[in-house]
């Protein structure tokens, strides 16, 4: 398995969708797949990564990593 490098656009979309979808990581993953035209077998952020990005955003008001060890790559998986 390889680690996908996610762009700021991806992270911002995830945080916005997570909040919009009432905190559902599965609905967020589905919306992400649709928005970025990903097939079912392509990589996208897993639940752990989604929760981490949202947590980083809430703590730092940014989801682009932090000097306190924020995840800058995230991990990959399919719908969980």
In a domain, 42, yes or no: yes
Identify the residue whose tokens are 């609905």.
27
Tell me, what's the pLDDT at 9?
93
In a domain, 74, yes or no: no
In a domain, 78, yes or no: no
Tell me, what's the pLDDT at 48?
95
CB 8 within 8 A of CB 64: yes
Among the listed residues 2, 13, 14, the one whose alpha carbon sits nearest the alpha carbon of residue 52: 14
Question: pLDDT higher for 67 or 57?
Answer: 57
In a domain, 45, yes or no: yes
In a domain, 20, yes or no: yes
In a domain, 70, yes or no: no
- Domain containing residue 34: 8-65
5-64 per-position pLDDT tens digit: 889 999 999 999 999 999 999 999 999 999 998 887 888 899 999 999 999 999 987 655
In a domain, 47, yes or no: yes
- C-alpha distance from residue 14 to each of 8, 21, 58 (Å): 10, 10, 13
Q: For the chain, what is the domain count?
A: 1
Tell me, what's the pLDDT at 46?
93
In a domain, 12, yes or no: yes
Tell me, what's the pLDDT at 65?
54
């Amino acid at each position: 398995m390889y680690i996908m490098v996610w762009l700021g656009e991806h992270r911002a979309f995830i945080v916005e969708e997570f909040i919009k979808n009432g905190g559902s990581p599965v609905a967020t993953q589905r919306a992400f797949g649709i928005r970025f035209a990903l097939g079912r077998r392509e990589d996208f952020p897993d639940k752990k990564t989604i929760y981490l990005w949202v947590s980083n955003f809430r703590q730092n008001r940014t989801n682009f990593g932090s000097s306190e060890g924020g995840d800058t790559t995230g991990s990959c998986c399919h719908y969980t």
